[in-house]
Structures are given as structure tokens and as C-alpha cells.
Amino acid sequence: MPGRLAAGGLVLLAAPVLAGEPDEPEWPAIIVTAPAGESRALPPQVTVPPSLLIDRQPRSAADVLRGVAGVTVRTNSRGETIARIRGADERQTQVFLDGAPLAVPWDGRVDLGLLPAGLLGGVRVVKGAAPIEYGANAVAGVVDFSTRQYGQGNFAHVEAGSLGSGSASLVLAERLGGVDTILAAGGITRDAEPLAGPLPFGQPRGNRRTNTDLDAGSLFAALGGEAGNLAFRASLLHLEARRGIAPEGDRPPEAGPRYWRYPDIALTQATVNAALALDAGATLKVTGWRQWFGQRIGQYASIGYADLEARQQDEDDTIGGRVTLTHPAGPLTLRWAASAQSSTHAQVDTAFPSGPAGARLRFRQNLLSLGLEADAVLAPGVKLTLGGAWDRAETPLTGDKPPQSAFAAGAASAGLGIDLGEGMALTLSGGRRTRFPTARELFGVALGRFALNPDLGPEAAWFADAEWRWQRPGTTVMVNPFVIRSQDTLAQRVLADGRRQRFNLPGGATSYGIDALLSHDLGERVRFELSATALRARADRGSAPFRRLPQRPSYEALAALDWNLPGRFDLRAEVRAVGGAVDVDADGLLVALPAAAEVALRAAVPVARLGENRLFLTMAVDNLTDAQIFPQAGLPLPGRLWRIGLRFD
């Protein structure tokens, strides 16, 4: 498994608040990739404040995103917990950690269920036409995680729960000779996920979901500081895990459910970033990253997970960087951005019981993005941002597959921000983005599950957003209608031999809906929160076997009541509702996914004070009513799970 020491990190300032407008940060120097500015109009965004990272008692980065307006979190058929923005495919949602892409480029996805939540210091979700700093493939939007900063202090938690579940985090922050230092460790474990209700197949035992064990651990270190006009931060993350993958519970053995396990997963990511203040108000930012990733996948003959049929060994090596120069130019502020990334994937497939190891195949994909944005203040309280970019993808190494032509596409965006006074603001934004197929989509067969499509091409989307926001002490209201027009959308079809094949829809698809958010203090100690999304996603008539796009719930909503009496207790109750959706079964037929709702309870009680910090007893129940929720056919969300622990902050 790859894993090496290297320097890494990031810098920058500014903190958007819950509805997305700059405000005083809750800690010094939050890291963001695309900071707001006095003349910059940004697309819709939602920030999860640090207080909510604690109140919701999340175990992983995936838990942090549950309930964010416009974001869907689910576990896919590969066992990965992924995020989708406004119903788009997870590969259209780019994930960043401290300014560097976190997803493994070969697949374009990352398992957010493996990253401990205790490591995170801030989370921002950008929707629609993302700023040019994020580079190529940010079609639906961006999930931008930042790790904890020195100013956020020390943190620790440990908890245990039902079915052998547990998690722990430790973050130590110190200033050594003017250098801010962060050391962190974390882990997540479980014997199995709880099962809320019966499944037709793939479930030989009662309340424990088959093959859903997990053990994951991580180490993190960061150094940061300032030297004159230069600010810098370097960080290194190493993560190791092993886990099972639940078989699809809606299909019998002859329909080919996945009997897979991941005995080894390892990811090491180093990031280095610097910001240099130049003359005449200019700023130069440079970010570099290096990622090593490796995994083994075992395919078994039956649900007994005893007879190994095949094994896939993957190794990935990625290097990339970004340069952004911002400077005034008369009445304008110009922002030049260039990013490049090269990723090499090596793969060995072995058949069992007696087959020899296959050839070591090497694939490579290079991404390049060049862009320019211009900001202008048109009138007091009115700001305009226009941007354009050129993106390119090429695959110079294609293993044993035929060569693939390079792809190139343009991108454009526009944003108009209007201060309406009395705490109200309106932002109109839109643009066009392109996502290139990943190397896995072009060349991967997933141990025989997929048939390749040599004609697979990029997918593109046009966006339009209107975000109205009203903020006053104790109250935030946000309403954001949107429309997305997709072209050449990547979809899957089931072939006569049972394999799946990716293809571009010959026409297009249209999605429209509304994101909404309300946060209101009912009193000095009680706060009500509501975030919701309504969505309608349809393919053009005649362009797909079914017009309704699969795995897109018609609505998602989270309502929460938080009662906090400092020094005594903090109680939180949440209700998350999910609307009906559809999916495609093993025969390629459309099946209904019913609407459902789940209840979660949280409690924290201070038990001791240690200097400036406190020790809390924490208690939580997830899915209190043991509701059965299907984000995907045959793959339900976990049932009821209780947790109890200690937190120090």
C-alpha cells in the first residue's frame, strides 16, 4: 500500500456564514479555496458552522453533510459513502480537503465515510457554476472541507455504540516558535450496520446487515505560519481502512449481486499552499498536492465470503497544482487561475482459485484548466463577476485498451450580487461546466461487471440560480430556486448478458427545484433549523429508457430543534424526511423507492471543567424509529443505532 511522508498544506482567510455571505470568522484563518470579496459575486453556497460540527455529533465527513440543503449522502453499490449535489452524479460533485482534490482521479470518487469528522474545522458546499479556482469537472458543485486550525484549540472525543460501533478523534494544537502546529488521529469501527427491515435476498442473519463491517484509522499533521508577506501551511493526511460491501438485497444470486470485500485501502495526501501579498494590492496563491492511493478488492462466489473468485489490486499516484493571481485593474479585480493534475493508475487482476496474476496495466489521465474572472462594483451594493475557462483531459496511457482522443471544452460563469438593504441580498448566477469521463469510466470493467463503450464522451451542464437571503440577529432565511440543463449525461444500461454499460444520453435532461434554509432563535436558548430541497429531474422524451432520472428523491428535508442551557445540557432533536424516487433493478426495469423519514436525538452534558476546556458526556440515537430508507434499490440506510461517549473541547 502506498504511503509516504511529504510536506503539504494550505492558506487563506474569510469565512462564509450559514447562508453563504462573508462574516466575522469563528476562528482565525479558515481555509477556503475561493474566498469572497467586496466586489466578488459567488454562486449559492452553504457553510456548516463549527458549532454544528459539534452539536450533530458526526462520526465521519459524510455525517457532516447529511441534512445540508441541496446535498444527498448515500452509500453506493461499491460500499462508498458519497455526496451528490442537487441529484447530480457523485462524480459531478468535486470534493476538496484544504484546497486539494480528495477524490481518487481514476474513479472520480472518495469514500467520505472513512474520514473522521473530528479532523474537520469547517465545511462549505458550493452549488451551481463553481468559481474557476476549483478547475475542471466541478459540474454540479463542490464540497470544500478544511481541517482544524490552531485557533480552534484542542479537541478529543471517544464513543461506543451498538453492534460494535465506535469512533474516536484527538486533535492537539500548539504554537511552537511562531509556527502553528496541528497533530491529529482518528478512527471509526463497526462490526455491522443495523438493518431496519427485511430484505428479499442477501440477508442470512437478522438485524445485522450482511458484510458491512468497517475499520478505519487516520493520522494528520500540519504546520503553518507567516513570514513577512508570505503565509503558508503544510499538511499530511494518511488513512487506512478495510471494509465489506453489502450485497444488493433486491436480487437473487442468479441476478449477480456483488459479493465483494476491501481487505486493504490506503490513502496518503500531502498538500502545500502559500499566499503572497504583492505590491499594488495583488495576491498570489500557490497550491500543490500529491496523493498516493492503493486498494485490494476481493470478489467472492457466494454470500459465504469464503471462495475467492477474483482479486483486483489498484495503485494510484497523483500530482497536481494550482496558481491563482488576483490583482486590481482599474475599476476591475482580475483573477487568473491555472491548475494541472496528472494521475497514473496501475491495476492487476487475478482469477482464482488457480489463475495466474494478470498483466500490470497502467493508465494515465492528465487534466488542465486555465481561467479568468473579473469582478466589478457596478453601483453601491451591486457587484458583478464574469468568468471563463478552458479545460482539457487526455489519457496518454490506456493499459490494454485502444487509445482515446483528448477532450477539451470551454466553461463560463456569471454572478450578480445585489444588496437589498435591511439584511436582504439577492444573487443571480449561472454558467456552463463540463465533466470529462474518468479513466475508470473509459477503461474499467469492474471485475467483469461493465462493458466498455468506446464512444463515451464528456457531459455538460448549464446552470441558472437565484438566491434570496435575509439575515438579522437570531434569524437566517435563504431561498434558492435553480434549473440545470444537462447534455450528453452519462447513464447506465443493462445489456443482454447482464453486464452494464455507460453511455451518453442522446438528448439531454432537465432538473429544476428549490433549496431553502431557515434558522431562527425561538428564545435565548432554543433554536429551530430547517433545510430542504425539492427536485424534479427528467430526461428528454425519447433519450432514455425512463424519463425520470433514477436515485433522485423528489424532496429532502431536515428539521431540528436545539435546546442549549450552558453549563447544564445541550439537547438536539432532528427529523429527516426523504421523498420518493425510482431506481433500475438487475433486469433494467424501473422500481419505486418509497418516501420515508428518520428521527435522531443528541445530548451533551458537561461533567467537568479542565482549565478553559470542558468534558462532556455525549449520547446519541440515530434512526430512532428504525425506519427503512432506500436511496438505492436493495441498499437501505442503516437502522437504529445508539451511541454514548465523552467529548473534550
Cα distances (angstroms) measured from residue 502 to each of 255, 438, 471: 19, 12, 45
Share of the chain above pLDDT 90, in %: 76
Q: What integer is the mean pLDDT of 323-346?
A: 97
Strand-pairing partners, residue 620, are 602, 643
The Cα 201–Cα 542 span in angstroms is 34
Q: What integer is the mean pLDDT of 392-405?
A: 93
Residue 22, pLDDT > 90, answer: no
Which CATH number does the domain housing residue 167 bear? Answer: 2.40.170.20
Residue 3, pLDDT > 50, answer: no
Q: In sequence order, which residues have a C-beta less than 8 Å from that of residue 360 and are 6 or more positions away?
A: 346, 347, 348
Q: How confident is the model at residue 177 (pLDDT cuts 50, 70, 90)?
A: confident
User: Is residue 244 in a domain?
Assistant: yes
Q: What integer is the mean pLDDT of 309-328?
A: 96
- The per-residue pLDDT for 17 is 34
User: Is residue 500 in a domain?
Assistant: yes
Dihedral angle of Cα 96, 97, 98, 104, to the nearest 10 degrees:
-80
Nearest Cα to 95, choosing from 247, 267, 245, 258? Answer: 267
DSSP state of 627: -
Residue 1, pLDDT > 50, answer: no
The per-residue pLDDT for range 593-602, each reduced to its tens digit, is: 999 999 999 9
DSSP state string for 142-176: EEEEEE--GGG--EEEEEEEGGG-EEEEEEEEEEE
Share of the chain above pLDDT 70, in %: 95
The Cα 21–Cα 41 span in angstroms is 10
The per-residue pLDDT for range 605-617, each reduced to its tens digit, is: 999 988 888 999 9
User: Is residue 228 in a domain?
Assistant: yes
The per-residue pLDDT for range 109-120, each reduced to its tens digit, is: 999 999 999 999
Residue 168, pLDDT > 50, answer: yes
The per-residue pLDDT for range 118-129, each reduced to its tens digit, is: 999 999 999 999
What is residue 27's three-state secondary structure? coil
Place of cell 493508475: 345
Q: What integer is the mean pLDDT of 202-227?
A: 93
Residue 12, pLDDT > 50, answer: no
Q: How confident is the model at residue 449 (pLDDT cuts 50, 70, 90)?
A: confident
Per-residue three-class SS string for 95-147: EEECCEECCECCCCECCHHHCEHHHEEEEEEEECCCCHHHCCCCCCEEEEEEE
- The per-residue pLDDT for 10 is 30
The Cα 509–Cα 518 span in angstroms is 30
- The per-residue pLDDT for 33 is 83
User: Is residue 4 in a domain?
Assistant: no
User: Which pTM was predicted?
Assistant: 0.92
Mean pLDDT of the chain: 90
Domain total for the chain? 1
The Cα 403–Cα 394 span in angstroms is 10
CB atoms within 10 A of CB 268: 22
User: Is residue 7 in a domain?
Assistant: no
Angle at 72 between CA 70 and CA 73, to 5 degrees: 145
CB atoms within 10 A of CB 482: 24
Cβ contact 432:463 at 8 Å: yes
Residue 646, pLDDT > 80, answer: yes
Dihedral (CA of 497, 498, 503, 509) sign: positive
DSSP state of 279: G
DSSP state string for 168-231: EEEEEEEEETTEEEEEEEEEEEES--B--S--SSS--SSSB-TT--EEEEEEEEEEEEEETTEE
Range of the domain at 557: 15-648
Cβ contact 498:466 at 8 Å: no
Cβ contact 118:29 at 8 Å: no
Residue 229, pLDDT > 60, answer: yes
What is residue 642's three-state secondary structure? strand
User: Is residue 474 in a domain?
Assistant: yes
Pairing of strands 500-504, 450-451: parallel
- The per-residue pLDDT for 32 is 64
User: Is residue 9 in a domain?
Assistant: no
Residue 13, pLDDT > 60, answer: no
Phi first, then psi: what are they for 443, rounded to 5°?
A: -130, -10
DSSP state string for 463-528: EEEEEEEEEETTEEEEEEEEEEEEES-EEEEE-TTS-EEEEE-SSEEEEEEEEEEEEEESSSSEEE
Pairing of strands 332-351, 22-23: unpaired
Cα distances (angstroms) measured from residue 175 to each of 146, 149, 153, 271, 571: 19, 11, 10, 20, 34
Lowest mean pLDDT among 330-339, 487-496, 536-545: 487-496
Dihedral (CA of 601, 67, 80, 265) sign: negative
Residue 96 half-sphere exposure toward CB, CA atoms < 13 A: 33
Pairing of strands 230-245, 260-277: antiparallel
Query: Would you state the cell numbers that stand for residue 552, as one nine-digit string?
Result: 433522485
The per-residue pLDDT for range 29-86, each reduced to its tens digit, is: 445 688 888 899 999 999 988 888 888 999 999 999 998 999 999 888 888 999 999 9
DSSP state of 247: P
Residue 529, pLDDT > 70, answer: yes
What is the rounded end-to-end Cα distance, in angstroms, of the chain? 34
Residue 202, pLDDT > 60, answer: yes
User: Is residue 471 in a domain?
Assistant: yes
Which segments of 228-331 are extended strands (E)? 230-245, 260-277, 283-300, 308-329
